[in-house]
Amino acid sequence: MALINLTPSIVLASASPRRSSILKQIGFNFEVMVSTHEEEFSNDIDLAKTNAKNKALEVSQRDNRLVLGCDTLVYLENQVLGKPKTKDHAMEILQKLNNKEHLVRTGVAFAQKGVLLSAKIAETRVFFRNNSPQELLDYVNSLEPMDKAGAYGIQGLGARLIQSICGCYYNVVGLPVALVLDMLKEVNHSYDFK
């Protein structure tokens, strides 16, 4: 019987529990090493990719393994909607998204030993239901929106707000699985599954 190599094959440059959960779900062996790079903030359509590259590069200068950096942003009419600072701010964001379509863009980057190997963006269109003011308030009062771009989590109670999506579901959660796997092939990295 062959021994399974449990040495982490990649480093995730993110503190996001959702990204860790997805990597575990698909069987990846990885270690978390949070990037200290300050995220930039603008309405640039490629901002998620820029932030992902910076995170991956920063961590790759501290560790020799392959590093995965990510950043997820929510755009409404070409404006970035960040994470809410207060419950009132969360309500304001959700009211803007209500009964509308918006765009979720996740930048994904791989770097090793201070060298950028690949950086791409996944894009998903999300359509909100016409939620009542009480439905939005109930969601805000759950406190789930408080650490999430666009003030909602599709994988949690926020699923109630969504009419439909066009594109990768996992991208909306924060880690576009198919893109990550394709990029790993592109950089010729063999990865260990648990």
Quick one: pLDDT at residue 6?
43
**Catalytic annotation on 138?**
no
Q: Is 158 left (phi over 0), alpha (psi -120 to 50) or beta?
A: alpha
Q: In the prediction, which pLDDT does 2 show?
A: 37
| Predicted pLDDT of residue 47 | 94
| pLDDT value, residue 109 | 97
Decide: pTM greater than 0.85.
yes
Domain layout of the chain by residue ranges: 10-186
**Selected catalytic residue, list 71, 88, 182, 192:** 71
pLDDT, position 190 = 59
Question: What integer pLDDT is reported at residue 193 of this predicted model?
Answer: 55
Instruction: Please give the average pLDDT of every successive group of 10 residues along the chain, which has 194 residues.
Output: 51 94 92 88 88 96 94 94 94 97 97 95 98 97 94 96 98 96 83 54
For 82-121, give the DSSP string: ---SSHHHHHHHHHHHTTSEEEEEEEEEEEETTEEEEEEE
**Burial letters 33-45, b for 16+ CB under 10 A, else e:** bebebeeeeeeee
The domain defined by 10-186 folds into: Maf protein (3.90.950)
Report the half-sphere exposure of 42 (CA within 13 A, side-chain side). 8
